[in-house]
Amino acid sequence: MKKIFTVLSLLILLTQCNLPANDSAESKAKSLVKKMTLEEKAGQMTQLTIEMLSVYDTTGALSKPHALDSSKLRQVIVDMGVGSILNVGGYTYSQEHWKEIIGSIQTYAKSSRLQIPVLYGIDAIHGANYTVGATLYPQQISLAATFDRELLHEMAVKVAQDVKSSGIPWNFSPVLDVGRNPMWPRFWETFGEDPYVVSELGCGMVKGYQEGDTMMAACLKHYVGYSDPRNGHDRTPAYIPERQLREIFLPPFANAIRAGAKTVMVNSSEWNGEPVHASHFLLTKVLREEMGFKGVAVTDWEDIKNLIERHHVAATYKEAVAMSINAGIDLAMVPLDLDFTKYLIENVKEGKIKESRIDEAVTRILQLKYELGLFENPVVNLMGNHTLHTDASKALSFELASEAIVLLKNQGNVLPFKADEKVLVTGPNANYINALNGGWTHTWQGRDTAYNPEVNTILNALQEEMKQGNVSYLKGNTYTTRLSDAELLRAASGVSTVVLCLGEDTYTEKPGDINDLELENAQQELIQVYHKSGKKVVVVLVEGRPRTFATTEPMCDAILFAGLPGNAGGDAIAAILSGKVNPSGKLPFTYPRFSSTHSTYDCKYTELYDKEFKRNGFNPLYEFGSGLSYTQFNYNGMSISQRNLGAKDSIQMEVTLSNTGTTDGDETILVFSSDEFASITPSVKRLRAFKRVHLKAGEKLTVPFVMATKELSFVGLKNQFELEPGKFFFSVSSLKDSIEIHP
Residues with active-site annotation: 300
The answer to whether the beta carbons of residues 126 and 385 sit under 8 Å apart is no
Helix residue spans in 299-407 (DSSP H): 306-309, 317-327, 339-349, 355-371, 391-404
Angle between helices 391-404 and 149-164 (to 10 degrees): 140
Question: Cα 639 to chain center, whole Å?
Answer: 35
Q: How far apart are CA 446 and CA 200, in angstroms?
A: 28
Q: How far apart are CA 264 and CA 224, in angstroms?
A: 10
Q: Which sign, positive or negative, has the C-alpha torsion 99, 100, 104, 110? A: positive
Q: How far apart are CA 543 and CA 62, in angstroms?
A: 31
The answer to whether the beta carbons of residues 721 and 715 sit under 8 Å apart is yes
DSSP, res 389: S
Nearest CA-CA partner of 321 in 365, 277, 284: 277
Question: Cα 563 to chain center, whole Å?
Answer: 13
Nearest CA-CA partner of 601 in 576, 575, 578, 619: 619
Q: Which sign, positive or negative, has the C-alpha torsion 350, 354, 360, 361? A: negative
**CA distance readout (Å), 598 to 181, 182, 447, 520, 602:** 8, 8, 29, 19, 12
User: Is the bond preceding residue 275 a cis peptide, omega within 30 degrees?
Assistant: no
Residue type, 186: R
Nearest CA-CA partner of 426 in 386, 481, 468: 481
Number of H helices, E strands in the chain: 21, 26
CB neighbour burial string for 287-320, b if at least 16 within 10 angstroms, e if fewer? beeebebebbbbbbbbbbbbbbebbebbeebbbb
Nearest CA-CA partner of 427 in 530, 575, 574: 530
H or E stretch covering 205: helix 195-210
DSSP annotation string for 486-527: HHHHHHTTT-SEEEEEEE-----SGGG--S--BPPHHHHHHH
